[in-house]
Structure 1
Amino acid sequence: MDWITPDWPAPLNVKAISTTRSGGFSRAPYDSLNLGDHVGDDPAVVAENRECLAKTMAMPRSPAWLNQIHGTEVVTLPLSCVQVPDADASFTDAQGEVCVVMTADCLPVLFCNEEGTQVAAAHAGWRGLVNGVLEQTLSHFDDSSKVMAWLGPAIGPSAFEVGGEVREQFIAHDEGSGIAFTAHNDRWLADIYLLARRRLAAAGITQVYGGDLCTVSEPTRFFSYRRESVTGRQATCIWISSENR
Structure 2
Amino acid sequence: MSRHTLAPAASPATLTGAADRRRRPGVLLLAVLLLGAAAALALTVRADIENPPFQGADERWLHWMGGPHEGFPAAVAAVLNWFGGPPGIVVPLALLVFLLVRRRWVSAGFLLGVYLAGSMAVVQGLKHLVDRPRPANPMVRVDHGSFPSGHAAGAALLVVLVGVLLVPAARRRAWWTGGAVFTLAMMWSRTWLHAHWLSDTLAGAAAGAGTALLAWWAFSPALARERNRARDRNRDRDRDRSRPA
TM-score bracket, shorter-length normalisation: under 0.3
| Structure with the larger RCO, 1 or 2 (CA within 8 Å, 6+ apart) | 2
Structure number with the higher helix fraction is 2
| TM-score for both structures, normalised by structure 2 | 0.25
| Higher Cα Rg, which structure | 2
| TM-score for both structures, normalised by structure 1 | 0.25
